[in-house]
Amino acid sequence: MNAILAQALWWVMTMGVAVIPLGWRTKEPDYKGLRASGDVNEYGSAEWRGYMDKLPTLDTLNRWFGLFRTNLGVVMGWNGLVVLDFDDLDAYDCWREVFAHLPSVDSYTVRSRRGAHVYVFVDEPVTASHAGVVDIKHYGGYVLGAGSLHPSGVLYQAVDAACPIVRAPTLADVLGYAPDPPRFPPAAESATVLPAALRSPFASPWAEAAAPAGVSDAVALVKEKVRLEDFFPSAGAPRGRYLRAQCPFREHQAIHGDAFWIDVENQRCGCHGCGDALGRMDVIDFYARLHGMSVSDTIRELARRVG
């Protein structure tokens, strides 16, 4: 028995999750195989979407995967099946460290071309969406399964084939934060506290003195004297090199935990909930965004205060 057929049988017979055939080294359905199994619509065109609500038979699986090289598509939504699609390994590794206490970080995972697919079962209804650094794959779609070959030539492989798929009541219990759309309130609404050493006696940050003569020297001074974790005095102790905190750029439901992360070792920060909307910031980027300032004005202000 080939590896792809074995994967297909495991998903259908053991997990109760439908699969479909995809063209070898593609993400597209294998329309020839679907037509051969009688999966056609009223117009005679091959169609895979019937397997959103029905499981393929053993004979069908053998027909699809037993004779020719074929990629495997795992159909989302079955029994609440969701895939957290991290398109970047750094984002995936950071999520694992920041939310190491969640069972989902040890759920069945497949390494993809650039990142990872974390498979989980979620009890609440879930809509396919984008939640910061992760795409939520659910009902209405499919993902490349382990053993499939990406068009780039990368083989999708399970991190641990024997690892179980974790079940959770809500998507927030899986992610560690509420996957609501990001919002950016004014800085005055932020829960972040400005470190005492940086609080200005001036009513406006624009009223500060001129910048130091050397910009590069000023940047080095700021990065040496100002640390990101100082802006989050209530965040507690870091977990490894990462510290979790409430994101100052969006509203979170506290019950779902804090999605903002600070890499105290490399002095970078970002938010799992806001994702690409924030990116990865150093202390200058963070302060500039927090107060709506330009980078040059931020360097001028911080260097003046700590110099």
Distance, CA of 239 to CA of 241 (rounded, Å): 6
**pTM of the complete model:** 0.68
**Domain residue ranges of the chain, discontinuous segments joined by +:** 3-175, 187-306
187-306 architecture in CATH?
Answer: Alpha-Beta Complex (3.90)
**Per-residue burial over 72-82, b = 16 or more CB atoms within 10 Å of its CB, e = otherwise:** bbbbbbbebbb
Query: Does 41 have pLDDT greater than 90?
Result: no
- Topology of the domain comprising 3-175: Prim-pol fold (3.30.2250)
Contact 165, 108 (CB under 8 A): yes
Average pLDDT over every residue of 167-172: 92
**What is the structure's pLDDT at 276?**
62
* Burial bucket for residue 201 (CB in 10 Å: 0-12, 13-18, 19+): exposed
In the block, residue with structure tokens 């009902």: 139
**Which of 7-11, 128-132, 247-251 has the highest mean predicted lDDT (pLDDT)?**
7-11
**What is the structure's pLDDT at 206?**
36
Alpha carbon distances (Å) from 216 to 54, 58, 72, 277, 286: 63, 67, 52, 27, 18
Q: Same fold for the domain at 3-175 and the one at 187-306?
A: no
Distance, CA of 94 to CA of 250 (rounded, Å): 20
- Alpha-carbon torsion, ordered 78, 82, 88, 93, to 10 deg: -120
Average pLDDT over every residue of 291-301: 83
Bridge-based pairing of strands 116-122 and 157-158 is unpaired
Q: What is the pLDDT of residues 114-160, one digit of tens each?
A: 899 999 999 998 887 777 678 899 988 999 999 999 999 999 999 99
